[in-house]
Amino acid sequence: MFETAVFYAFAAILLVAGACVVTARNPVHAAMFLVLAFFTASGIWLLLRAEFLAIALLLVYVGAVMVLFLFVVMMLDINIERLREGFWKNLPLAVVVGGIMMAEMAAVLAGRYFGVAPRPLARAADYSNTKELGRLIYTDYAYAFEIAAAILLVAIVAAIALTLRGRKDSRRQDPAAQVRVRRSERVRLVSMPADKE
Amino acid sequence: MTTPLPDFALALPEIVLLAGACALLIFDLFARGERREGSVRFAGLVLLATAAATLFVLLGTGGALAYTFNGLYVADVMALLLKLGATLAVALALAYSRRYLHDRGLLKGELLALLLFALLGMMVMMSANSLLTLYLGLELLSLCLYSLVALNRDSPVSTEAAMKYFVLGALASGLLLYGMSMIYGATGTLTITEVARQVANLQANSAQHGFLVFGVVFLIAGLAFKLGVVPFHMWIPDVYQGAPTAVTLVIGTAPKLAAFAMAVRLLVNGLLDLAADWQQMLVILSVLSMAIGNITAIAQTNVKRMLAYSTIAHMGFMLLGLLSGVVGGNWLNAAEAYAAAMFYTVVYVLMSLGAFGMLVHLSGKGFECERLEDLKGLNRRSPWQAFIMLLLMFSLAGVPPTAGFYAKLSVLSATVAAGQIWLAVVAVLLSLVGAFYYLRVVKLMYFDDPAETAPALEGERDARVLLSANGLALLVIGIVPQPLMGLCFVAIKSL
């Protein structure tokens, strides 16, 4: 009973937040509503006993991706009026697409073949799916996990190799050159006549 | 709860290579000098250690089939031999292109590291016994290749080629993944040996069978893209031409071995019971590739582009071997056919190494040897190099007594043994068409005058010696093919 109440509360917040993301006038506000939506979604996942996914969603999306998003939104000079142009013109198409998606979801969720189990199987109170996931990743799938790590490393190396350029106009120190410098390169003795004009 | 430790020793080549590649990244930070002598030598050492580790595993298991990492990894003779081949191919590619890369400011630690990681990806594919590891290996390889193509950042052509390669490659990965998901849906497992067991138990007309065939279509499409056969060949000419020749040298060689391994793992190891279904698809791919590859190559004026179309044709020819394994439900012919396909792939990699290696070798500082005119009168400029190029072209065309001839012969005899006479006839006719453009190169080298503006040849001696060995090896394999063919047999038997 209590769980149902919490679910409906979270679901209501999630829907309102989702609607606000697309209607908010200020892009920063929209991003903040998206954070709220993620946060509530992770609450719902907790209710579904997927605590690892819930925490990962918070850490990865709220903690990293959305912060990056906010930075980008703040850095870019977005012309809100330009973005809102054609809202009414595109609305019918959006309604049609949204309607089709809703119908498909309904077919999947209510259909005979894809009917989802209403509740996950009951587990012991101390059952931890984080632990189970960790056990699988580090035992059965350790090899695949290592390769995935190598792929990430390659992504880092490639991204840096492809984009990092030493800019010609950037000023930076070269300590080795600073240490090697000789007096004659820095100080020039000029003999000048000592009289005053 | 404790789980038994996996047998790490079987994966020694991969472990050595991964550790070496990571060490190279750190080592290169402290390397001095423009030529990166230290880093190149370090990369060479890593490759040597990898080859040694592979040999060690080969001798240690004695060629017995062994699985580890919970069935994600398989070590059999085919995987180990192909790993040795790929390591050799990458090492040769590096040796050929060292000066070329240095002249263009591309010889950086990142390039070497990406090369090693690409090799790691190939090895993972060769030893994959799960759709998961197969896919991860493929992505590791592809990511390295995309960035290698783009590494020449100031060249718009290279960037465009990398972009095309990346977008089409992502699409192909999507197709492949979709096919894999279908196969998972029908069999409920990702392990390839388990897939094979499930498929064998399926009823012929059950719903799952339809599901499987649907998945196989997508699987073949993804595979065809990686092999570069028509109609999934569009990226090959652009990428081969756009990439720096040294990178083309890498893309056109060792990854073909990995693609062959992937085809064998998926189709032969996993879905042999569906052979009747996938063999038909391969027939279409093969005939189209040989036709479009050979005929379009005639119209090319750029050697790299010409060799790209020749790759398409050769891969189509190789598929002939893969599709003649199972005849009417029995696979008596299988070992011969698959061994012939493997022999063909290995020989093709050797020829391709030589041909692109020669182009790299003939390119100088600020001069790209990539148009057909650039090869004019090579005989007068350097008779020995012209002779090696002649050997390579003869082998690509399939002129006896070179290895290319024997490779074509063995694939054709497998095709005839499978009763596909018309396919063999078509293949021979299209190879004749192909001979035209290979022999045109020979004609240009021997009977035309060199262009007056041709720059002096400046290749280093090491590379020249290796190239000569590469060319002569094709002659030797052509005259004495039995040892290599025997190895291929052992490899296929070990599956």
User: What local confidence, expressed as pLDDT, does residue B139 receive?
Assistant: 95
Of A108-122, A181-195, B447-461, highest mean pLDDT: A181-195
Q: What is the mean pLDDT of chain A?
A: 84
pLDDT less than 70: residues of chain B = 1-2, 33-35, 203-205, 329, 454
pLDDT, position B229: 92
Q: pLDDT class for A113, splitting at 50, 70, 90?
A: low
pLDDT of residue A88: 81
Q: How far is CA A193 from the centre of its chain?
A: 69
| Chain-centroid distance, C-alpha A57 | 9
* CA distance linking residue A174 with residue A181, whole number of Å: 11
Distances (CA, A) of B105 to A164, B35, B109, B365, B370: 15, 9, 11, 11, 19
pLDDT of A120 reads 56
Contact A160 B124 (CB under 8 A): no
B102 contacts B459 by C-beta, under 8 angstroms: no
Residue A68 and residue A136 in one domain? no
Any CB–CB contact under 8 A between A15 and chain B?
no
Q: Identify the pLDDT of residue B428.
A: 94
Segment A37-43 long-range contacts (CB within 8 Å, at least 24 positions apart): A38/A62, A38/A66, A40/A10, A40/A13, A40/A14, A41/A14, A43/A6, A43/A10
A contacts of B11 (beta carbons < 8 Å):
143
Indicate which of B29, B132, B145 best probes the interface with A, i.e. most A CBs within 10 Å of its own CB.
B132
A87 is a domain residue? no
Does the beta-carbon distance from A154 to B108 stay under 8 Å? no
Is it the case that residue A18 has pLDDT exceeding 90?
yes
Distance CA(B391)–CA(B468), nearest Å, equals: 10
Residue where a domain terminates, one of A63, A78, A93 = A78
Please judge whether B144 and A139 are an interchain contact, meaning their C-beta atoms are less than 8 angstroms apart.
Answer: no
Query: Closest approach of chain B CAs to the CA of A152, in angstroms?
Result: 9
Question: What is the predicted pLDDT for the residue at A168?
Answer: 65
The residue among A48, A78, A108 that closes a domain is A78
Q: Which of residues 123-162 of A touch B (CB under 8 A)?
A: 135, 139-144, 146-148, 150-151, 153-155, 157-158, 160-162
Q: How many domains does chain A have?
A: 2
- CB B273 within 8 Å of CB B196: yes
- Residue B450 CB contacts under 8 Å (≥ 6 apart), including other chains: B376, B377, B378, B380, B381
Kindly tell me the burial class for residue A5, based on how many C-beta atoms sit within 10 Å of its own C-beta (0-12, 13-18, 19 or more): exposed
What residues form DSSP beta bridges with B128? B73
The whole domain housing A153 covers: 128-161
Interface test with A, best of B70, B154, B173 (most A CBs within 10 A): B70
Q: What share of chain A is helix, strand, coil (3-state, %, to 5)?
A: 70, 0, 30
Q: What is the three-class DSSP state of B156?
A: helix
Q: Is the pLDDT of residue A112 over 70?
A: no
Q: What is the DSSP secondary structure assignment for residue B117, as one 8-state letter? A: H
Q: Which of B303, B472, B468, B476 is nearest to B382 (CA)?
A: B468
> Within 13 Å, how many C-alpha atoms sit on residue B157's CB side?
9
Closest CA to B355 of B214, B249, B201: B249
Q: Output the pLDDT for position B204.
A: 66
Give the nearest partner residue to A161 out of B70, B132, B147, using CB atoms.
B147
Tell me what the mean pLDDT of segment A98-103 comes to. 92
Residue A64's domain is classified under what CATH number? 1.20.120.1200
pLDDT digit string (tens) for A56-79?
Answer: 999 998 888 888 888 888 887 777
B245: tokens are 């020749």
Chain A to chain B, count of Cβ pairs less than 8 Å apart? 71
Q: How far apart are CA B41 and CA B47, in angstroms?
A: 10
Q: Do A155 and B143 touch (CB under 8 A)?
A: yes
State the Cα–Cα distance between residues B230 and B285, nearest whole angstrom: 6
